[in-house]
């Protein structure tokens, strides 16, 4: 088999890249370890920056996000028992975010890929990458007991944090930066109306809570829990009880509870691997970086990586220019580190840290108080939340 770009991983990074390349007439094959149904069963965040919406549009898959997504102009910060609104729309000169689940983005991309008749190999095992330091890279995998090989011009490693792509790079050529937080998020998805029109980020003495949503009838809620906590320790009733305790009285009153459709615990981590290009192998999305979910930057960073990568590959094929390819890593990392900083800062501001005690809580409350009263501080939050621009210069 031969293709121009072999894409490892059918998460949002791999599928969006495949679609952007296809739109530009660049042939690609996606190789995914899991089944399509498994990929769609993963529940992830659901806040899309305008930049992500623009890329979905460029890929021709934004119709449903526009029709069913919920444009949000603000968020609420809850601390010391009271909610305060940050008007992102006003503070950023008219920007907004779109609340639309990552699962739905993935479904739209899968449907578009199938409709265009593009090839995706699901349930591929023993995926391995070869010769990406030369001019003729290859990807090998086993499907139904048969070994296959793809010859290609480039490999895009879009296979997430646990993927094979980053692991295929010689250890001496890559530097990894990591911070692990001493807590996780217990998430619940339920078919109940959201407690509020906008997202509520809550700092409480019992720990962080987040009220989010997928639609007017489906809610997504999270609670900060200790790292060692297990989902088996929780029941729906315990979850709703603890969430109610972390809300203000008016929200508590409005909270509608119901059976969970999904309940899981995700650890919180900041991680960056540098660089993101090794000869003809490019890393994109979670394969290269992880942010803690506070601020929902994960999917948006994956999208901007893929925006840069598709641009670079289009430049290579159309203009025979290596400029985009050569600058790929530096352009991505400049945006990634800013999102890493923002996600780390927002996480640090909103969570209970076991080691900082009451002093830490007081400092957080002082910063939150400053944040809601200072236009400079709230503008900084707003411009990061709606997404910093993609810069195409070097
Ligand atoms: N071979 C082939 N595919 C693989 C391999 C492998 N060895 N290892 C992992 N994969 C697949 C996974 O099964 C998964 O479907 O790669 C895909 C990676 O998808 P994601 O983990 O969703 O990563 P990405 O597409 O970069 O999306 C980033 O997803 O994890 C969230 O917060 C993150 O929202 C962000 C977004
Ligand atoms: C979500 O809806 O899952 C979500 C929203 C905002 C976040 C994180 C997760 O900051």
* pLDDT-above-70 percentage for the chain: 100
- pLDDT tens digits, one per residue of 234-284: 999 999 999 999 999 999 999 999 999 999 999 999 999 999 999 999 999
| Ligand 1 lined by 159 (C-beta under 6 Å) | yes
Helix (H, G, I), strand (E, B) or coil at 88: helix
Selection from 392, 354, 389, 365 nearest residue 182 by Cα: 354
Token duo for residue 314: 């289009």
- Which residues line the pocket of ligand 2, CB cutoff 6 A? 45-47, 199, 210, 212, 220, 293-296
- pLDDT tens digits, one per residue of 139-151: 999 999 999 999 9
Q: Is 201 among the catalytic positions?
A: yes
| Ligand 1 lined by 387 (C-beta under 6 Å) | no
Average pLDDT over residues 119-126: 96
Residue nearest to atom 1 of ligand 2 (CA): 45
The domain limits of the chain are 5-70+100-177+269-354
| Ligand 1 lined by 160 (C-beta under 6 Å) | yes
Q: Is 182 among the catalytic positions?
A: no
Quick one: pLDDT at residue 222?
Answer: 98
CB 174 within 8 A of CB 274: yes
- pLDDT tens digits, one per residue of 331-352: 999 999 999 999 999 999 999 9
Spacing, Cα 142 to ligand 2 middle (Å):
36
Q: Which fold has domain 5-70+100-177+269-354?
A: FAD/NAD(P)-binding domain (3.50.50)
CB 43 within 8 A of CB 4: no
Residue nearest to atom 8 of ligand 1 (CA): 163
Ligand nearest to the CA of 109: 1
Selection from 315, 310, 329, 314 nearest residue 18 by Cα: 310
Spacing, Cα 121 to ligand 2 middle (Å):
30
| CB count in 10 Å sphere of residue 366 | 10
- Supply the mean pLDDT for the chain: 97
Quick one: pLDDT at residue 392?
Answer: 83
Written as one string, the DSSP assignment of 224-275 is EEETT--GGG--HHHHHHHHHHTS-HHHHHH-----EEEEEEEEEEEEEEE-
pLDDT at 394 over 70: no
Ligand nearest to the CA of 198: 2
Ligand 2 pocket check: which of 70, 209, 210 to mutate, most ligand atoms within 8 Å of Cβ? Answer: 210
CB 69 within 8 A of CB 98: yes
Could you tell me the end-to-end alpha-carbon distance of the chain, in angstroms, rounded to an integer? 36
Q: Is 338 among the catalytic positions?
A: no
Spacing, Cα 264 to ligand 2 middle (Å):
14
Our measurement of the distance from residue 195's CA atom to the centroid of its chain's CA atoms, rounded to an integer in Å, reads 24
pLDDT at 393 over 80: no
Q: Is 72 among the catalytic positions?
A: yes
């Amino acid at each position: 088999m031969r293709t121009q770009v072999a894409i490892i991983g059918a998460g949002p990074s791999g599928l969006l890249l495949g679609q952007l390349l296809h739109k530009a007439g660049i042939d690609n094959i996606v190789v995914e370890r899991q089944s399509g149904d498994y990929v769609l069963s993963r529940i992830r965040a659901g806040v899309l920056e305008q930049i992500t919406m623009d890329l979905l549009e460029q890929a021709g898959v934004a119709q449903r996000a526009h029709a069913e997504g919920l444009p949000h102009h603000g968020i609420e910060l809850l601390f010391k028992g009271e909610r305060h609104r940050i008007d992102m729309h006003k503070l950023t000169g008219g920007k907004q975010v779109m609340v639309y689940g990552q699962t739905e983005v993935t479904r739209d991309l899968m449907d578009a890929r199938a409709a265009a008749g593009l090839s995706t190999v699901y349930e591929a095992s023993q995926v391995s990458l070869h010769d990406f330091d030369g001019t003729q890279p290859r990807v090998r995998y086993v499907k139904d007991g048969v070994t296959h090989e793809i010859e290609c011009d480039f490999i895009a490693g879009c296979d997430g944090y646990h993927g094979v792509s980053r692991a295929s790079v010689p250890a001496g050529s890559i530097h990894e930066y990591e911070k692990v937080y001493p807590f996780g998020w217990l998430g619940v998805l339920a078919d109940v109306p959201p407690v509020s029109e906008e997202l509520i980020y809550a700092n409480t003495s019992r720990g962080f809570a987040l009220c989010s949503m997928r639609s007017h009838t489906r809610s997504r809620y999270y609670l900060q829990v200790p790292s060692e906590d297990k989902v088996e320790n929780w029941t729906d009733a315990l979850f709703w009880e603890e969430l109610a305790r972390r809300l203000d009285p008016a929200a508590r009153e409005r909270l509608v509870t119901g059976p969970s459709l999904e309940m899981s615990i995700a650890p919180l981590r900041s991680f960056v691997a540098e660089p993101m290009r090794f000869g003809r192998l490019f890393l994109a999305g979670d394969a290269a970086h992880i942010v803690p979910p506070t601020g929902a930057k994960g999917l948006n960073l994956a999208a901007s990586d893929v925006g840069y990568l598709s641009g670079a590959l289009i430049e290579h094929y159309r203009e025979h220019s290596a400029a985009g390819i050569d600058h790929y890593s530096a352009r991505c990392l400049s945006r990634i580190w800013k999102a890493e900083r923002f996600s780390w800062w927002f996480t640090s501001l909103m969570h209970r840290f076991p080691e900082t005690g009451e002093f830490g809580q007081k400092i957080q409350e002082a910063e939150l108080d400053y944040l809601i009263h200072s236009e400079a501080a709230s503008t900084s939050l707003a411009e990061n939340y709606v997404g910093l621009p993609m810069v195409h210069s070097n």
